[in-house]
Amino acid sequence: MSEEMVFQISVPTDEEGFVLLECPLCGELFKLNPSDYQDDSVFVVYCPACGLVSDSYVTNDVIELGLAMAENYANDLIMKELKKFEKKIKGSISFKVSKKPNRKPELPVMLTIEAFEKKIYPCCKKEVKLKPILKMSGSYCPYCGVMDYGFE
Ligand SMILES: [Zn+2]
Ligand SMILES: [Zn+2]
């Protein structure tokens, strides 16, 4: 069993191509354009709400889906092995694999229906989508970490 597990999880983008991200430190949701943050010049992304840098801004939905897929995959492997074993010993003793482990639902990652407002930070001239309240109260530029007060 040395197969490498590769799970493709498709994360939907909104109609303008923004991806929903979640700060693991403060739980704030925001949206960035993948073509911006996957740029080679962008090494870190600052959370617009707490201003801290995290390794990953993957949302809970994506994590749950990944875990469900991994668990289902592992269960499938176990079942496959048990079935082989069942065949091998047929006729000698009775051994039947009957109970299939419950499969975890693999729910597609949904787009959030929460309203986001677009903000262009004057420092980096990049577009970010924030919750209206965060936009109003001031936020950190995800690309350089500079605090920008809500005025435009
Ligand atoms: Zn945060
Ligand atoms: Zn900036």
Which range of residues forms the domain containing residue 109?
19-148
Q: Measured at the alpha carbon of residue 11, what is the angle toward residues 29 and 132, in degrees to the nearest 5?
A: 25
Flag whether 57 is in a domain: yes
Flag whether 91 is in a domain: yes
Flag whether 101 is in a domain: yes
38 CA distance to ligand 2 middle (Å): 15
Flag whether 7 is in a domain: no
CA of 51, nearest ligand number: 1
Mean pLDDT of the chain: 85
42 CA distance to ligand 1 middle (Å): 18
What pLDDT score was predicted for residue 144? 95
Q: In this predicted structure, which of 22-31, 35-44, 57-66, 141-150 has the lowest mean pLDDT? A: 35-44
Between CA 65 and CA 11 the distance in angstroms is 11
User: Are the C-beta atoms of 49 and 38 separated by less than 8 Å?
Assistant: no
pTM of the complete model:
0.74
Band of residue 110 on the pLDDT scale cut at 50, 70, 90: confident
Q: Domain total for the chain?
A: 1
What pLDDT score was predicted for residue 41? 77
User: Are the C-beta atoms of 81 and 74 separated by less than 8 Å?
Assistant: no
CA of 29, nearest ligand number: 1
CB-based burial of residue 22 (10 Å sphere; 0-12 exposed, 13-18 middle, 19+ buried)? buried
54 CA distance to ligand 1 middle (Å): 8
Looking at the predicted structure, is the pLDDT value of residue 145 above 80? yes
Instruction: Report residue 119: phi and psi, to 5°.
Output: -135, 135
Flag whether 12 is in a domain: no
CA of 140, nearest ligand number: 2
CA of 141, nearest ligand number: 2
Looking at the predicted structure, is the pLDDT value of residue 87 above 90? no
